[in-house]
Amino acid sequence: MYREGAGNMLIKVVGLYPIADVVGPQMDQGSMRYLSEMIWFPTAFLGDNVSFEPVDDRSARVTLTDRGTTASATMVFAEEGKLIDLVAERYRIVDGRSTLERWSTPVDEYGELGGLRLPARGRAVWKLADGDVEYIDVTVTELQYNVGL
């Protein structure tokens, strides 16, 4: 979760028994994976707290700042302009220790979602020295905006 400038990772077995409850500055930065999730509501990239800087002809550095916490990533684009990857340095927690590691969210497919052509399938991958660790492969089949609770 990322709310009001603070991150929290709460993991429960079968939704009942907590096995991890992590907070702190590294979790605040890591929880800003929101930056990568903005691909599903692209108008968020127009916010005053988002800035871009060109890297080369196929990539740009995007930075999101919120309540004193900053997260940056490199957006990589295909020749025709579609986003194909977002790469960042994020904190990874293993055995209670945090290390800053390279993290990638490659986009594998696009589709029509919420009336827009957006990434519909992608993955999250830790790019570690001893090999990649892919920990999620997600397919978005439906997207709705501004739905009341």
99-148 per-position pLDDT tens digit: 889 999 999 999 999 889 999 999 999 999 999 999 999 999 998 888 77
**Residue 50 and residue 39 in contact, taking contact as beta carbons nearer than 8 Å:** no
- 112: containing domain: 34-139
| DSSP single-letter state for residue 44 | G
Residues 6+ apart with CB under 8 A from 56: none
Confidence of residue 43 (pLDDT cuts 50, 70, 90): very high
39 within domain boundaries: yes
60 within domain boundaries: yes
| DSSP single-letter state for residue 29 | H
62 within domain boundaries: yes
25 within domain boundaries: no
How many domains is the chain partitioned into structurally?
1
26 within domain boundaries: no
* Residue that wins the pLDDT comparison between 107 and 96: 107
57 within domain boundaries: yes
pLDDT (tens digit per residue) in 66-95: 888 888 999 999 999 999 999 999 888 788
97 within domain boundaries: yes
